[in-house]
Amino acid sequence: MFDKFSHRHLTSISQLSKSDIQTIFKKAENFLDGNVLKTAQSDVLKEKTVVLAFFENSTRTRLSFEIAAQRLGANIVQFQANASSVAKGESLTDTLATIEAMNVDFFVMRHSVSGAAEFLKDYAKSSIINAGDGQHEHPTQALLDGFTLQNIFKNLEGKKICIIGDILHSRVARSNISLLKTLGAEIALCAPKTLLPNDISEWNCEVFKTSDEAVEWADAVNVLRLQKERMESGLLPSLGEFSKYYGISMRHVLQKPDLVILHPGPVNYGVEIQYDVANCENSYIRQQVTNGVAIRMAILELLSENF
């Protein structure tokens, strides 16, 4: 039914066809029992080594990859960037070549530079998985978001999904737009002008000026944190105003009782989303985390078939 998944690396959503995405979703489904992750171990990655190289902070993505690799029977090695020779000036390519000389199979990397994973791919003997590169892409996050939405709506064709918040600094937004459009969804954005990229007109997405308008239009919203670590000062007049015009609160759930709410985390309660909304029945934030492990298991297994 689907074309063969023929990739050796996963660095960007743009490399995946609709058929590839559905192959990943179908495989991920096997690791779930309804909405719950199965705990059964398999040995498809027995004798394979997965290096987790996170040059930037992470809680859920790193742990999710670690649990996914563990469930598939892989050996897992944590690379501590700030305690490594990178701190002594070793280049990224030398770091990869050094680690690969120890005969590893996967290099799962998060890096603050946009394009870092794409760049390393050309030098790699191992399989490179992009776990987030600067403001560029976060393909496994988009896959788990799309998987969560498809499980809710069954089919994303024509579904209206609005991404709200700090789009400018968000790799999640870029990967989400690409993936959800491939699956046939209609995408809109909602952010102050200063948190939208300059080339926004090329993205071909409607832009809403308030979260009230966005919710009026949308079947689902994907809410993003203000990524202050990548922000120049002066992009926002005040947090209070951002929260008032772009935040999601209980009034939006009252406005649209079947609104689906996603957030990739980490959440800053009271800024982009209120605590009670993030924890209400319309919110799928914890389900996203569960699905993230299943999606990463699927990716690891599918990529390993092309070594």
Minimum CB–partner distance for residue 247 and ligand NCD (Å): 15
User: x/- string (CB under 6 A) for ligand NCD, residues 257-276?
Assistant: -------xx-----------
Of 99 and 131, nearer to ligand NCD (C-beta) is 131
User: x/- string (CB under 6 A) for ligand NCD, residues 154-183?
Assistant: -----------------xx-----------
Of 150 and 288, nearer to ligand NCD (C-beta) is 288
Of 5 and 166, nearer to ligand NCD (C-beta) is 166
Minimum CB–partner distance for residue 278 and ligand NCD (Å): 14
132 touching ligand NCD, by CB under 6 A: yes
Minimum CB–partner distance for residue 58 and ligand NCD (Å): 6
Among 11, 49, 61, 126, binds ligand NCD (CB under 6 A): 61
115 touching ligand NCD, by CB under 6 A: no
Among 121, 138, 159, 174, binds ligand NCD (CB under 6 A): 138
Phi/psi at 155 (nearest 5 deg)?
-145, 130
Among 225, 277, 278, 300, binds ligand NCD (CB under 6 A): 225
Minimum CB–partner distance for residue 296 and ligand NCD (Å): 12
Minimum CB–partner distance for residue 144 and ligand NCD (Å): 9
Measured on CA atoms in the order 129, 133, 139, 144, is the torsion positive or negative?
positive
The Cα 208–Cα 186 span in angstroms is: 14
Of 48 and 56, nearer to ligand NCD (C-beta) is 56
Minimum CB–partner distance for residue 225 and ligand NCD (Å): 4
Of 159 and 225, nearer to ligand NCD (C-beta) is 225
Max Cα distance, the chain (Å): 57
Minimum CB–partner distance for residue 287 and ligand NCD (Å): 14
Among 22, 84, 151, 227, binds ligand NCD (CB under 6 A): 227
Of 131 and 205, nearer to ligand NCD (C-beta) is 131
The Cα 26–Cα 31 span in angstroms is: 10
The Cα 206–Cα 200 span in angstroms is: 10
Q: What is the DSSP string of the chain?
A: -------S-B--GGG--HHHHHHHHHHHHHTEETTEE------TTTT-EEEEEESS--SHHHHHHHHHHHHTT-EEEEEEGGGSGGGGT--HHHHHHHHHTT--SEEEEEESSTTHHHHHHTT-SSEEEEEEETTTB-HHHHHHHHHHHHHHHS--TT-EEEEES--TT-HHHHHHHHHHHHTT-EEEEE--GGGS-TTGGGG--EEESSHHHHHHH-SEEEE----GGGPPTTS-S-HHHHHHHH-B-HHHHHHSTT-EEE--S---BTTTB-HHHHTSTTB-HHHHHHHHHHHHHHHHHHHHTT-
Of 104 and 224, nearer to ligand NCD (C-beta) is 224
Chain positions contacting ligand NCD, by CB under 6 A: 60-61, 132, 138, 141, 171-172, 225, 227, 264-265
